[in-house]
Every structure is written in C-alpha cells, then in structure tokens.
Amino acid sequence: MPQALTSTKRYVAIWGWLAGLMLLGVVLCELALGLPKWLVVATVLILSSVKALLVALYYMHLKGDRRLLLFVAIAPLFIIALALAVLFSSRFVRL
Amino acid sequence: MTAHAISAGHAESSTVTGIPNGKLGMWLFLASEVMFFTGLIGAYIVLRFSNLQWPGSEGHLVVWIGTANTLILICSSTTIVLALAALERRDLPAIRMWLLLTIALGSLFLGVKGYEYAQKFSHHIVPSTNVFWSCYFTLTGFHALHVLGGIVFNLFVLRQTFRGAGWGGQQHRLELAGLYWHFVDIVWIFLFPLLYLF
C-alpha cells in the first residue's frame, strides 16, 4: 500500500481518537456520574494531554523526526514544571 | 530528516543540525508560544483556586457551543495534515482543497467565537465584569488572534500554490503552516475544558 495512503488512513484514525476523547471529556463533566470533582478534573486533563500528545506525535510528526526537535518541544515543559513547582510551593506563594 | 519531510518538499538540509532552518525556527517559535500561553493559563489556574464563585452569577458559557467549536478546530487540524499528505502524492488540486477547507474551518471557529462574544456583550458581560470573564476574554482573545494569524499564513501558502513553477521551492511552507496550526489546536485542547467544563 502506498505510504501516502497509509498516512491518510492514520490521520483520519487520529481524528477519530481526538474527537472521541474530547466528547468523552464533555460527557464526564456534564454527567458527573457521582464522581468527586477532583477525579473528573484530573481525568479530563489527562485526556487533554493524550490529545495534545497525539497531535504532536502524529500531526506535527515529532514521532520519527530529528531528536533535536523533540528536545525543543520538551524544553518548555521542563520550565513549566519548574514554574509550577514554585507556584504551588507554599514556601514561596500563598494561594 | 524523516522520509516524510523529504517527500514533503525539503531538500536534504546542509545545516549543522540537519534540520531546515525554517522548520527549526518554527519549533523554537512554538516553544516560546508554549511559555506565553502557559503564563496566561497559569494565572487563570491561580485565580480559579482563589475564587469560590466561578464563573460567578453574571452568566456562564454554553458547553455545546464550545464543544462544537472544539470539534471544528480538531477537524481543521486533520484537513491541514491531509494537505501535507496530498503534497506527498504531488496532488496539487487536493492540496488546495484541504488548505481551503482548513481556512474555512478556521474562519468558522472565529465566527462562532464572535457569536459567543456578541451574546456575552448583549448581556452586558464584558472583560471587567469579574475575574472569570477577564480571564475568558484574555485567553480566548489571544487564542483567536493566533487562529487569525494561522488563517493568514494558510492563505499565503494557498496563494503560493498558484505560482506554478515557483511553488516547487516554497512547498516547505505548507509544513510550517501545519506546525503552527496544530499548535493553535493544542492550545485550544487545554483552554476548552479549563474555561467551559470545570
């Protein structure tokens, strides 16, 4: 099978996952299902992260691309983690 | 360099990194954009934690409109990556069609956002109404400006496809436009639940 055709099928499959995960998050939040709020928020944020990862790996082609680009993409996440660590540390900031 | 990038119109790069300068530049730009939006979202989260009434009694967002708009943006991400797949097949009419569809979906997203803004303004809900609405208009406003920028970029690439032989040397711009557009999609993937669902 030509590579372009398999890529097209993969892109459409990823679209299905993106739309499905998004709708799952909406259903979880709207129906609540008796789950604690923190669990719903955590689950939906994890779903969002999975969607972002799918877009970055397959639509932005980070999967299989040069490793340097992966470092460039990940670098801000380390800085964000550092900023969040400071932000949520009561020693520095009181929320 | 991946087989994908090569077939997408890049000549094997002679740069030190082996990555075309434009592509590396775009990724560095996107990394800075991640920091920009993280600052805004971080501020939103801090304010969210320190306010019990959220969004307040003045009004709320309509979840189904936000859901529909998210679906529109997800579809537009798929259409632009299909334009890239069409580039691999050297299928110029398909490239134009998918690019045009991406532009149309991006414009539809902005149209829906404009409708939401108009609805809020008609109910006298403005950025100064309370902290939530300040955050909402700031976050979605900056995101909408990025969507607008993406539409202009896509229009520019679409125009390049009509340059005949000149298009051959400009094909890498489609990949750059796609990278930018996907980033805009990723930002919305996080903004949607934060603003509409929690």
pLDDT at B9: 46
pLDDT at B154: 97
Mean pLDDT, residues B163-184 taken together: 88
Distance from CA of B46 to the nearest CA of A (A): 7
pLDDT band at A2 (very low <50, low <70, confident <90, very high): low
d(C-alpha B125, C-alpha A39), whole Å: 31
Q: Is the pLDDT of residue A24 over 50?
A: yes
Q: Is the pLDDT of residue A4 over 70?
A: no
**B189 versus A32: which is more confidently predicted?**
B189
Residue of B nearest to A63 (CA): B2
Q: Are A23 and B24 inside 8 Å of each other by CB?
A: no
Residue of B nearest to A81 (CA): B38
Residues B68-83: tens digit of each pLDDT: 999 999 999 999 999 9
Residues 6+ apart with CB under 8 A from A80: B34, B35, B38
A20 touches chain B (CB under 8 A): no
**% of residues, chain B, pLDDT over 90:** 67
| Full residue range of the structural domain in which residue A71 is found | 66-95
pLDDT at B6: 41
- Which candidate in B27, B69, B190 is best for mutational testing of the A interface (most A CBs within 10 A)? B27
| Full residue range of the structural domain in which residue B62 is found | 3-197
pLDDT at A89: 74
- Which candidate in B12, B72, B81, B190 is best for mutational testing of the A interface (most A CBs within 10 A)? B81
What DSSP string runs through B174-187?
A: HHHHHHHHHHHHHH
CB neighbourhood size of A57 (10 A)? 16
User: Same structural domain for residues A56 and A88?
Assistant: no
pLDDT at B155: 97
Say which of B27, B70, B88 has its CB closest to residue A72. B27
Residues A31-85: tens digit of each pLDDT: 877 788 889 999 999 999 999 999 999 999 998 888 888 999 899 888 888 877 8
Token representation of residue B7: 């077939």
Distance from CA of A67 to the nearest CA of B (A): 10
* Number of domains, chain B: 1
Which of A2-6, B6-10, B60-64 bottoms out in mean pLDDT, i.e. has the lowest? B6-10
User: Same structural domain for residues A55 and A10?
Assistant: yes
Q: CATH number of the domain that B155 lies in?
A: 1.20.120.80
Residue B132, Cβ density class (10 Å: 0-12 exposed, 13-18 middle, ≥19 buried):
buried
Say which of A19, A59, A80 has its CB closest to residue B81. A59
Residue B103 in contact with residue B147, Cβ under 8 Å? no
Residue of A nearest to B80 (CA): A59
Residue of B nearest to A86 (CA): B42
Residue of A nearest to B175 (CA): A60
CB neighbourhood size of A16 (10 A)? 10
Residue A50 in contact with residue A21, Cβ under 8 Å? yes
Mean pLDDT, residues B184-193 taken together: 96
pLDDT at B168: 75
Q: Is the pLDDT of residue B15 over 90?
A: no
**% of residues, chain B, pLDDT over 70:** 93
Q: Is the pLDDT of residue B131 over 50?
A: yes
Mean pLDDT, residues A15-30 taken together: 95
Q: Residues 53 to 72 of A: which have CB under 8 A from any B CB?
A: 55-56, 59-61, 64-66, 68-69, 72
Q: Are B67 and A59 inside 8 Å of each other by CB?
A: no
pLDDT at B2: 43
d(C-alpha B74, C-alpha A24), whole Å: 15
Q: Is the pLDDT of residue B7 over 60?
A: no
* Number of domains, chain A: 2
ipTM rounded to 2 decimals: 0.88
CB neighbourhood size of B155 (10 A)? 15
Distance from CA of A52 to the nearest CA of B (A): 5
Q: What is the pTM of this model?
A: 0.89
Say which of A18, A29, A64 has its CB closest to residue B74. A18
Mean pLDDT, residues B61-71 taken together: 95
User: Same structural domain for residues A54 and A71?
Assistant: no
pLDDT at A93: 58
Residue ranges of the alpha helices (H) in B123-163?
131-160
Mean pLDDT, residues B148-163 taken together: 95
pLDDT at B145: 98
Residue B119, Cβ density class (10 Å: 0-12 exposed, 13-18 middle, ≥19 buried):
middle
